[in-house]
């Protein structure tokens, strides 16, 4: 039994809230991907070079990285030869299996937050303006509160008009403290105050917002370096996570952003927002292919509970369940 068959067996008829969120949140991607693969199988009587060329195009159009597409298709070709498969309708399982075995087996990547053994866990949130960073901070704070952790936020994006007020409004709704300075002020001083107060208050987690000015890479790099130094003076192991927020609907542009941020600072994980708004769910594979950085959270809707810890099996099922009859 292949990987996808096992996953399908696990989830069919065993609905959970998380499973339902993945299926609903990935509906656009699943429908688009499945329709294209099923249409491909219907148009070919046998598997040949033209079939594989079209399969490559489908995968690339689904935002799977080009290098990974070539690897996936090569692996599918080998399996087709070994199993002597002629009928395209019999290949769906193999396509899905190869896509995700390559993702899962290349290296072990944890989706868990690296919480501090003692003292505050400091999380830096980075990403371009418009990716949904501030809203993601609120959702992450809500999620951690639901798990019983005390949370504080620091409004380190002092450059974008309204960013401080936006985070402050979210903090008030969540009943948590927001450390803030003046618009246009020194963001590192806000982070310094945040770390100091988080330590004094004994909170479990401090989530720090940062500016999203990727067009000024040198300035942003210096700013993030300064923030890191300030954090380490008080909490030597910090920051424990630097999470990059990417808007999934921007496709390959989002992957390019990730590559640029990875040059500027040490990214420990990705948060993919607006996955429910894209028909190109392969961006998860593209990020792995390009950067080998784990996706730690995935945004599957607009409500506070729609930020989910990334789960590879749930993702596979959510993206590909329409490829087979129930």
User: Which has the closest alpha carbon to 281: 243, 322, 242?
Assistant: 322
210 marked as part of a ligand binding site: yes
28 marked as part of a ligand binding site: no
Q: Which phi and psi angles does 270 have, rounded to 5°?
A: -115, 140
135 marked as part of a ligand binding site: no
Q: Is 315 exposed, middle or buried (0-12, 13-18, 19+ CB in 10 A)?
A: buried
175 marked as part of a ligand binding site: no
276 marked as part of a ligand binding site: yes
- The radius of gyration computed from the CA coordinates of the chain, to the nearest angstrom, equals 21
CA–CA gap between residue 106 and residue 120 (Å, rounded): 33
Q: Residue 231 contacts by C-beta under 8 Å, 6 or more apart in sequence?
A: 122, 124, 191, 195, 238, 239
43 marked as part of a ligand binding site: no
25 marked as part of a ligand binding site: no
73 token code pair: 């298709």
CA–CA gap between residue 301 and residue 88 (Å, rounded): 34
Query: Please, what is the end-to-end C-alpha distance for the chain in angstroms?
Result: 16
275 marked as part of a ligand binding site: yes
294 token code pair: 């784990």
What is the phi-psi region of residue 130: left when phi exceeds 0, alpha when psi lies from -120 to 50, beta otherwise? left
CA–CA gap between residue 236 and residue 230 (Å, rounded): 10
68 token code pair: 């990974």
171 marked as part of a ligand binding site: no
229 marked as part of a ligand binding site: no
77 marked as part of a ligand binding site: no
Query: How far, CA to CA in Å, does 190 sit from each of 134, 204, 206, 301?
Result: 16, 18, 12, 30
263 marked as part of a ligand binding site: no
274 marked as part of a ligand binding site: yes
131 marked as part of a ligand binding site: yes
CA–CA gap between residue 263 and residue 252 (Å, rounded): 17
User: Which has the closest alpha carbon to 243: 130, 112, 127?
Assistant: 127
CA–CA gap between residue 88 and residue 95 (Å, rounded): 11
133 marked as part of a ligand binding site: yes
Binding site feature residues for GTP: 127-134, 209-213, 273-276
Binding site feature residues: 127-134, 209-213, 273-276
């Amino acid at each position: 039994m292949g990987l996808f068959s096992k996953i399908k067996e696990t989830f069919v008829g065993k609905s959970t809230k998380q499973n339902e969120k993945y299926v609903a949140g990935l509906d656009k991607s699943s429908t688009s991907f499945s329709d294209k693969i099923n249409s491909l199988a219907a148009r070919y009587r046998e598997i040949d070079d033209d079939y594989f060329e079209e399969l490559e195009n489908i995968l690339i159009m689904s935002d799977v990285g080009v290098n990974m597409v070539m690897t996936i298709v090569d692996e599918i070709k080998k399996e087709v030869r070994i199993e002597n498969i002629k009928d395209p309708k019999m290949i769906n399982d193999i396509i899905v299996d190869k896509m995700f075995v390559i993702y899962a087996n290349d290296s072990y990547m944890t989706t868990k937050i690296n919480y501090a053994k003692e003292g505050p866990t400091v999380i830096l949130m980075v990403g371009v303006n418009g990716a949904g960073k501030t809203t993601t901070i609120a959702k992450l704070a809500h999620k951690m509160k639901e798990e019983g952790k005390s949370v504080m936020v620091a409004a380190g994006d002092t450059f974008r008009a309204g960013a401080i007020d936006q985070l402050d409004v979210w903090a008030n709704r969540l009943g948590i403290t927001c450390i803030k300075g003046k618009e246009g002020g020194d963001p590192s001083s806000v982070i310094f105050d945040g770390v100091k107060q988080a330590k004094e208050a004994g909170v479990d987690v401090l989530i720090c917002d940062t500016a999203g000015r990727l067009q000024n890479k040198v300035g942003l790099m210096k700013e993030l370096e300064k923030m890191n130094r300030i954090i380490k003076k008080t909490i030597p192991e910090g920051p424990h996570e630097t999470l990059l927020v990417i808007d999934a609907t921007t496709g390959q542009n989002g992957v390019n952003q990730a590559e640029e941020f990875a040059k500027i600072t040490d990214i420990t994980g990705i948060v993919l927002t607006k996955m429910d708004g894209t028909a190109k769910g392969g961006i998860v594979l593209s990020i792995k292919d390009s950067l080998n950085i784990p996706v730690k959270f995935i945004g599957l809707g607009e409500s506070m509970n729609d930020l989910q810890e990334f789960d590879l099996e749930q993702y596979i099922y959510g993206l590909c369940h329409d490829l087979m009859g129930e």
